[in-house]
Amino acid sequence: MSSNQQFLQNLYDAFNKREIETIISLMQPEVKWANGLEGGFVYGRDAVRGYWTNQFKDVQPELETLKFETDEKNRNVVTVHQIIRDLQGNVLADATVHQIFTIEDGLISVYELGETETIQEMIQKTRTSNEQ
């Protein structure tokens, strides 16, 4: 496993343990972070902290890394199995997604999502299919 792969695996491990401050410390101060819940981006460590604090009040995401790659722009692309549960443990969404990281000077400067739906869209699709 390369150093970037180990770095990112440590990030995912901390995320699954809800160690927000550990994850924040792995980011550039002015990080550009994809808002996977609603779309768009949040900017800076404080905004990412607020984004996750609010998200964890409503849902419990769990991420399992499946594959690490590097793209033509030298970004780290991680294929992830993502399960989103409500606070009672019910599965709201279950998908495989691509998460893309730009690492500069040993810290994350940009986090992007591959072509995928937002978490809200995934949850809505799951609800709709469960109602049919």
Q: Domain limits at 112? A: 3-131
- The DSSP-derived string for 105-117 is TTEEEEEEE-S--
pLDDT single digits (tens) 22-53: 999 999 999 999 998 788 999 999 999 999 89
pLDDT single digits (tens) 56-81: 898 999 999 999 999 999 999 999 99
Q: Can you give the pLDDT at residue 2?
A: 75
Between CA 108 and CA 113 the distance in angstroms is: 14
**Would you call 18 helix, strand, or coil by DSSP?**
coil
Q: Can you give the pLDDT at residue 118?
A: 56
Neighbours of 103 (CB within 10 A): 19
What are the distances in angstroms from CA 87 to CA 2, 51, 108?
35, 17, 29
CB crowding 34-49: b at 16 or more within 10 Å, else e:
bbbbeeebbeebebbb
CATH number of the domain where residue 75 is located: 3.10.450.50
Count how many domains the chain has.
Answer: 1
- Confidence check: pLDDT of 123 > 60: no
pTM comes to 0.84
Q: Can you give the pLDDT at residue 129?
A: 65
pLDDT above 90 coverage of the chain, percent: 68
Between CA 13 and CA 8 the distance in angstroms is: 9
